[in-house]
Amino acid sequence: MNPKKLIITKPCEKQDTSGNMVRVSAKTYALLETLANESGRSRSYIANKLIEFAFDCVEIREEDDEEERE
């Protein structure tokens, strides 16, 4: 079974939107940059789409002592 995919369309024209800041790791930023370069969309647009897509796939559980903490 293949996992669902988030489809990001290339823009016809740029949209200027403002929002709140969220910090991400350097690794995550590089991933956003890669997707932005390939799609022509902004890092912000892609981050928002990824978060919205993942939101319904998240399950909240109690943390075990053995789990890695970030």
Give pLDDT tens digits for 8-53.
888 776 665 677 889 999 999 999 999 999 999 999 999 999 999 9
Q: Which two tokens stand for residue 23?
A: 């910090």
Query: What's the confidence (pLDDT) of residue 48?
Result: 93
Which H/E stretch holds residue 30? helix 26-39
CB 42 within 8 A of CB 36: yes
d(CA 67, CA 12) in angstroms, rounded, equals 44
Q: Which residue has the tokens 């790791």?
A: 25
